[in-house]
Amino acid sequence: MDLMAGPRGRRLCLATMLEWASHAEDDAGQEFVTAVFYASHDLDPRRGTPALSMLALEGSGPPEIPIRTTADVARLWADAPRGRLDAHTLMSALVASVDAAMYWQAPDGEDVLAATDEMRGPLVEVAAAIEASEAPSWWGAPVDLASQWVVEFDLHDHPAGFEHAGEPATVLANWREAIVEEEYRFHRSYRKRPQEAISGPWWSKPPHALTRTTRSLGDSGPAGLWLIEDSHGPERALVRRAAVPSDANVYEIDGPDAWADLCRRFPIDVTASRRHDWYRTTGEPGPWVLPDWSRVAEYYDGAHLTVAGYLETAGRAIPVGDGASSVLAGWDPDTTYWFAGVRAYGDTEETWVNPDDAGWSREPTAA
């Protein structure tokens, strides 16, 4: 697992540093957290909104924003506290990295900070510690066919995982038809320069109407409760165990090579519809492809994205061949999309709650 290879892995390392520093009892930790905040604000292409909204006082003018550089952050890290790499710390950092993912705009300030030359040394130190630890052993594991769970959020802008799933063959055929129409429309209607301020579809995951599942994390519930890109803080979810064939043939996306291979074998061109968003995200102009999931389904029962594969691959321009590239975008880590029919056991149904975004727990049953 190369955590320095992609933006989500680097952000995981930075989030781990912030976890340690924010829970420290000395001033060095708080100084580091503050420096990261202000340096990230200065590097953010949308700078002005996050810090100003937190610092502005009603009736006063714009506050004076302290200047902190990437060199300041790296220098302060030398004296910042190092904490334990337990499962809680790593999960909190992973959740923060996943939630901050974005593929429709330029990287935010913390992603930019984590990609600077000055921060490479500090981040490499943390990456080495994470990769040597035992806590994230399941991050590189293939799909756990013995324990897969469907998570449905009680939130309008989160598509459900099972209730709205259609017949896979129909869903995939409709998806491919929509992709072709989408490409034709963007090709005819929008300028081809990737720098234009145009947005469109930016995701490359399979269609969301397919059933998708994640593994159980024991008392913490399914991974799908926690690992959500751009989550918007869902507060309630229905969880059910999925009946998955024990001999299911699942394609494992465990890194950039696996993603590139899938794109080479089953390419579908999406240059017209993705060029503007993916240029802002990666700085690369394309051409762009993604896997034709309707063809992938002819060979596999599902596709699973490992956490390690996500951290190395998501948000990067991955070369595919013949000058084309692809971006893994919009796919939550450890999620398996099923191209074969999968049902959920109704007698395993549980309600989980996350009040005030304080963490998921089972809703107590009525006595």
Which range (102-116, 185-199, 274-288) has the least confidence?
Answer: 185-199
Judged by DSSP in three states, 259 sits in: helix
The burial class, CB within 10 Å (0-12 / 13-18 / 19+), for 195 is exposed
Least confident of 23-27, 146-150, 219-223, 256-260: 23-27
pLDDT attached to residue 135: 67
pLDDT (tens digit per residue) in 44-67: 887 655 444 444 444 455 556 678
pLDDT, residue 13, reads 97
Whether residue 162 has pLDDT greater than 70 = no
Question: What local confidence, expressed as pLDDT, does residue 60 receive?
Answer: 53
Check residue 324 and give its pLDDT. Answer: 96
Q: CA 69 from chain center: how many Å?
A: 27
Residue type, position 251, single letter: Y
Tokens of residue 79, six digits: 């004296």
Q: Report pLDDT for 63.
A: 59
| Mean pLDDT of the region 148-169 | 67
Task: Name the 3-class secondary structure at 338.
Answer: strand
pLDDT reading at 211 higher than 90: yes
User: Of the given ranges (23-37, 164-178, 339-353), which has the lowest mean pLDDT?
Assistant: 339-353
In angstroms, rounded to a whole number, what is the distance separating the alpha carbons of residues 341 and 237?
22
Helix (H) or strand (E) holding 7: helix 7-22
- What the block records as the tokens of 161 is 């995982």
In terms of Cα–Cα distance, which of 193, 188, 229 is closest to 330? 229
Encoded tokens for 25 = 């009892």
User: What proportion of the chain, given as a percentage, has pLDDT over 90?
Assistant: 66
Report the SS3 class of residue 325. Answer: strand
State residue 48's pLDDT score. 55
Q: How many helices (H) and strands (E) does the chain have?
A: 12, 13
Predicted pLDDT at 344? 74
Mean local confidence (pLDDT), 229-258: 92
Average pLDDT of the chain to the nearest whole number: 88
User: pLDDT confidence of 141, banded at 50, 70, 90?
Assistant: very high
Residue 161 has pLDDT above 60, yes or no: no
> Where does the pLDDT of residue 158 fall: very low under 50, low under 70, confident under 90, or very high at 90 and above?
very low
% pLDDT > 70, the chain:
90
Helix (H, G, I), strand (E, B) or coil at 136: coil
Q: How confident is the model at residue 345 (pLDDT cuts 50, 70, 90)?
A: confident
Residue whose C-alpha is closest to residue 238's, from 224, 248, 258, 249: 224
pLDDT at 36: 95
State how far the Cα of 290 lies from the Cα of 212, in Å rounded to an integer: 19
Output the pLDDT for position 157.
41
**Mean pLDDT across 66-88:** 90
Give phi and psi for 67, each to the nearest 5. -95, 125
pLDDT for 174-202, tens place per residue?
A: 999 999 999 999 888 776 777 777 778 99
Three-state SS string across the chain, please? CCCCCCHHHHHHHHHHHHHHHHCCCCHHHHHHHHHHHHHHHHHCCCCCHHHHHHHCCCCCCCCCCCCCCHHHHHHHHCCCCCCCCCHHHHHHHHHHHHHCCCCCCCCCHHHHHHCCHHHHHHHHHHHHHHHHCCCCHHHHCCCCCCCEEEEEECCCCCCCCCCCCCCHHHHHHHHHHHHHHHHHHHHHHCCCCCCCCCCCCCCCCCCCCCCEEEEECHHHCEHHHCCCCCCCCCCEEEEEEEECCCCCCEEEECCHHHHHHHHHHCEEECHHHHHHHHHHHHCCCCCEEEECHHHHCCCCCEEEECHHHHHHHCCCCEEEECCEEECCCCCCCCCEEECCCCEECHHHCEEEECHHHCCCEECCCCC
**pLDDT value for 231:** 83
DSSP 64: P
Instruction: Decide if pLDDT at 156 tops 60.
Output: no
pTM assigned to the model: 0.90
pLDDT of residue 52: 46
Could you give the CA distance from residue 307 to residue 335 in angstroms, rounded to a whole number? Answer: 9
Residue 304: the pLDDT is 98
Residue 346 and residue 243 in contact, taking contact as beta carbons nearer than 8 Å: no
